[in-house]
Each structure stands twice: as structure tokens, then as C-alpha cells.
Amino acid sequence: MRRYLFPAFVLLLVAALAFSVGFYSGFRKNVVFEMIVRGARAMNPAPLVTAAPEMRLDMTDRAFLDSTLLPLHQDEILVTSSEGTPLPLLALEAAGGEDAIALGAEGTLFRMTGAACPGDGCLRQIGRLVRPDGTALDDIYDLLSLEREGGRDWYVSYGQPDAAGFNKSFAISRFVLPEDEGGKSLQPVEKPVFLSRSFSLRNGHAPRSAGGAMAYDPKTDEIIVAVGDYSLNGIANVYSGAVPPSQSPDSDIGKILRIDRETGQSHIVSMGHRNPQGLSISSDGELISTEHAPKGGDEINLIAEGRNYGWPYASMGTVYGTYSFPEKPLRAGEVHGGYTPPIAAYLPSPGISAVTHIEGFHPAWDGDLMVATLKARSLMRVRRWVGGSYTEQIYIGDRIRDVDIVGKAMLLATDSGKIIRLTPVENVQLARTETGLNTNLNALSNCGGCHNLNYPVSTRDAPHLRNLMGRPIASASDYSTYSPALLAKSTGTWDIESLEKFLRAPQEFAPGTAMPDLGLSDGEIAELMTELPLLR
């Protein structure tokens, strides 16, 4: 028996030592841990992508969208997988004339033919982007096209980890736009034309704080790109070195950069950025960025060479859960701590995303900025003048990831898999009389006295009417005082038939309901049946 005890003890000791070394290495992420991970990755490399996913398209005409200065036609295209799951859309980019290219999650590409919209030939899948080695391109930020003599060049920005996964770079690559009618082709992007100085992943990072928005300056033939701080700011995650990367000239993250398209050489335009989601350059060279702040303080910034916008030493927002911000002012007592302040900031944060200069769309809006939002699910039209500005919020109802003007249409890419196409209504009289947009001029004004017609927020007296058609009866989640009579109908759905019965005789439809009999005429009810479905 004794002869087995010593080998067993040695085996147990070796196992304990191996566990201790492995645990310590995993916790400290030291050289031993890195060697183990490299070996594991070498034995189990990332799989190659073999086919583009099959997508399905659903065209829907939503008719009209209202705003203060301009009524709009609105139609939508829903992109889903073959199983019916919506495909989040990341970016839209002009492809010449009225055409555009949409980029979905994991690199799926679609061509929109504007002249065919909103018909069946409006959108088709044309292929999928993959990394140069054929593996999935699954960390994508933005899409850029630029017109050149004889055609267009296409670029995509994305995250590029090293082989071991301990460091990461921000990358921009060219690619050839596929034109596969079946949408099944795989298109590897080229070797990066720009690869940022790498940063360590040992302390974690946030891919969604990468920024990545791109713009093209035709006057200098440079790509301009906004690189986020990946949450390496001392607030969300610790960083290496004495200075936060956003404030260090030795790091590319937290910066807006200009990149030579041929050499890949870059120089810093501005620094002190957190998570710049949008970037737009106007025809006269004005550069605007939009930027996520922490809790409150989402920013619109006018970008100028050599400026420092303060992050993480200054913010209009606060750190989550603290109601304060640990400022390190450049000059105490000055606005934004002496750093360059935003030209506009939003409290609470709407979840700001893309931005575009409105040029050549419609005289009512031309010269303004159009800003997309995620949390607020709205467009923000921003008009500026010397010394001030205003913002008009236009509710859309979807998280808007990108906004661009292509031809005479404003296109929106959403997280819910929709491409939303907005075009101006030229005949405003038609909008007044047939769409119910100007609610004080039609039968819908009878509803607006109690119900909220503009936003999906119920009033104290009545549930909101947005997205009413197809909604379960008595189902507005923020309204809790439905009558028992209407709650008894909650297994049903509001459609043309049920709405008409309810409006003609509320007590017959749901005896005991709080809805009064409005004494509507046949003409008013017919008008409401046309107008209520438009409240999307």
C-alpha cells in the first residue's frame, strides 16, 4: 500500500500546483495564461464562413409621417432571416443616383434600387463581407463609399483582434462590392488600408464604444474617422499608462483622425472623445460629430483641427449611479472645464447615433442637421443660427442606427431590421385633407383632446393612439385605468371593423366603458378609419 502513497502524493501535488498556476495566470493574465490561450486558439481556429445567410424582405407602405415644416411619405422594408428573425442593420451608403447599399449584422449586403421603391424590386441581397482570412466579420462599425473616376470605392470599419486575442486594433479595409443576384457570394475585405495602434484587452473593453463612423473629404482625398475609447477611460474600465487613451497623443482611440487613402498614414484632428457614433462633412467642409455621453449629456460637436473635447476629464453628463462627474478641468471655472464644449447637448440622453447634413433634400429642411437616436427612437432635426439652435423631435418608433440622404429620399437603418424611406410630400394640401397630419383640421382633432396622437405615451385620461391598428384592445402598457368593460375585450385586436363599431356606439361595443359617445357622422368615422392607421 505504501508504494502507491508516494506516487499518489506527487500526482496530487502536481495537480494542485497546476491548478494554482492556472488560476493565478487566469486572474493575472500573465505569460503562462497567454501561452495556454495561444495554444488553444491554434488548435481550434475560428471557422471559415461558407455561405451568406438567406434573408427575406417585407415591403410595407406606412403612408405618411408628420413634422412641423414638412409632411413626408414613409415606407418600410423589413429584413428578416429565413426563420423570421429581424436582421439588425448597421449602415446605409449612397451607391450613385437613387441607389444605396445597406450593411447588416455580420456583413450581409443589400442593394436598394431607388427607382423601383416601394415596389418588389426595391431591395435585394447581394452577398456578405468576411475578413481577409475568410472568417466572420462580426465587429463592424460603419460603411463608406466615395465616387471616383470610373466607379466607386467601398470601405468598411471594424475591430481587428490579434491572433491570441489579447490586443485589438481599429481597422479600415477596402472591398469590392459584390453583385450576386442570388445574394450568396462571400466577399473578403482587403488587407487594412488603416490599422490603428493596438490596445490591450487585458482589462476588458466595450466593442459598442468603438465609434467607427467614417466620412470622406473630397477636397483632400482623405477618409475621416471617429474612433471611440472602447470604454478604456478609468470610469468603465481601467487603462494602461498614466494618461487616458482619449487624452494621449500616443493612442489612436478616443480621436478623430484623417487618413490618407493610399498610404494609410493618419494624423489626429481632435481628441477627448468617448463614443462618437456619427460623423458628417458638409459640401463646404464643416465637420460634425455626434457622441454618446454617460448618463445624460449626449453631444453634437463641431470638429476643428487641434481641439480637445474633454473626455474623460469633462462631460455634460454624470457617472451612472453617482449624480456627479469626476471633472479634471483644464481651466477651472470655465464652461466644460476649458475644453471645447459641444454645440448642443441632450439631457436626458436620447441615445444619439448617426448624423447627416441636410443638403438638396427639401427647402424646408436644407441647411439643418438630421440626427438619429436609439433610445428615443426618433429623428432630431437641428436648426442653428448665430448664438442659438432648436431641435425638433420626429418620432419614428425604431432604434435608428444610421441616416443618409440618397437622391430625393432620406433613408434610415434600424436595429429592428427595417430600412425606412422618407420622401417629401410636395402637395401639402393633399396632406391636410387626406392623411390627417394636421390634426386641428380634421376629425382626428376630436381624439387629440384626450389621447396623445404624437408619441406612444398615454395621458392621465386616455391611452395613446400610436400604433393602434393591430394592437390588442386595452393594451397600452403605460395606461392602468382601463374600464373593466374594455379589459373584458382584451383578447381581441383593434382593426377597422372593431374600431368602427367602437366609435359608432361605445356602450354597445363595451357596456360600461368610459369612452363617451361623440356623435360622429358617417363622414367623420370614414375619415378616422383612414387616419388612425397612419399613427405609426
Is 200 found in the same domain as 168?
Answer: yes
Closest CA to 100 of 87, 88, 117: 117
Is 451 found in the same domain as 375?
Answer: no
Q: How far apart are CA 299 and CA 161, in angstroms?
A: 29
The CATH code of the domain that includes 122 is 2.120.10.30
Last residue of one domain, picked from the residues 426, 460, 486: 426
- In 218-305, which ranges are E strands? 222-227, 255-260, 266-271, 275-281, 287-292, 298-302
Q: Residue 20: enclosing H or E segment and its boundaries?
A: helix 2-28
Please check whether residue 19 lies inside any domain of the structure. no
Please check whether residue 37 lies inside any domain of the structure. no
Last residue of one domain, picked from the residues 366, 394, 426: 426
Is 373 found in the same domain as 467?
Answer: no
**What's the first-to-final CA gap in the chain, in angstroms?**
81
Q: What is the DSSP letter of 431?
A: I
Please check whether residue 56 lies inside any domain of the structure. no
Please check whether residue 486 lies inside any domain of the structure. yes
| pLDDT in 10s for each residue of the chain, 536 residues | 566 666 666 677 766 666 665 555 555 555 555 666 566 555 566 677 766 666 665 555 456 787 889 988 888 899 988 788 899 999 999 999 999 999 998 899 999 998 888 777 889 999 999 999 999 998 999 999 999 888 899 999 999 988 777 889 999 999 999 887 677 889 999 999 999 999 888 777 777 788 999 999 999 999 999 999 998 888 877 887 889 999 999 999 999 999 999 999 999 999 999 999 999 999 999 999 999 999 999 999 999 999 999 999 999 999 988 888 888 999 998 999 999 999 999 999 999 999 999 999 999 999 999 999 999 999 999 999 998 899 999 988 899 999 999 999 999 999 999 999 999 987 766 555 444 444 434 567 668 778 887 778 898 889 998 888 888 999 999 998 999 999 999 999 999 899 999 999 999 999 999 888 888 888 888 888 877 877 76
Cell for 337?
472645464
Is 463 found in the same domain as 362?
Answer: no
Considering its fold, how many domains does the chain have in total? 2
Is 247 found in the same domain as 124?
Answer: yes
pTM: 0.79
Q: How far apart are CA 352 and CA 280, in angstroms?
A: 14
Instruction: Domain of residue 511: give its range.
Output: 438-534
Is 352 found in the same domain as 244?
Answer: yes
Q: What is the DSSP letter of 434?
A: I
Q: Residue 119: enclosing H or E segment and its boundaries?
A: none
Is 495 found in the same domain as 390?
Answer: no
**In the chain, helix, strand, coil percent, each to 5?**
20, 35, 45
Closest CA to 126 of 66, 52, 44: 52
Is 367 found in the same domain as 405?
Answer: yes
